[in-house]
Amino acid sequence: MEDKIRKFMYGRYGPDELYKFEFILYIITLFIGIFFKSKVLSIVQLLLVISILYRPMSKKIYKRSNENQKFLKLKKAISRQFLNIKRNIQDKDHIYKKCHKCKTTLKLPLPSKKGIKHAKCPHCGNRVTFLTLKYQKIEIIKK
């Protein structure tokens, strides 16, 4: 049986990140559909099921790969917006701010007391506002 499945799937695209996202989105819409009955939601579920079944079985590998690459670029752009929030939650000793002029991420000292302070971006010289009273060296994390 496993050999028959392997032969059937030969030359087909198979599951990828977009497939996994669509599957999770389908599960979420399924749970939402339990509480709210809607024709629009049913149509969205139907389209997701068709896509979930079609994408891994497709022999147009180049097109499916391009679709997945576009999805990964979009996912990276969205997750990049929340990176400093994640860093601020994880790192208890520093605050991460982005310079609005050159988009450099700055690692600033954790404020010991409440107060608005300003730091100079070492890359472009722009003034960055943050809360702290300590003076420490500013590190550039990523340009």
pLDDT digits (tens, 9 = 90+) for 54-94: 988 888 889 999 999 999 999 998 888 788 778 877 877 77
Give the model's confidence band at 114: pLDDT under 50 very low, under 70 low, under 90 confident, else very high. Answer: low
Could you tell me where the DSSP H helices lie in the chain? Answer: 2-9, 17-35, 39-57, 61-81, 83-90
The CA–CA distances, whole Å, from 107 to 16, 90, 97, 131, 133 equal 35, 13, 7, 13, 15
Residue 113 CA from chain centroid, whole number: 33
d(CA 29, CA 6): 31
All structural domains of the chain with their residue ranges: 2-81, 92-142
Lowest mean pLDDT, pick from 25-29, 102-106, 134-138: 134-138
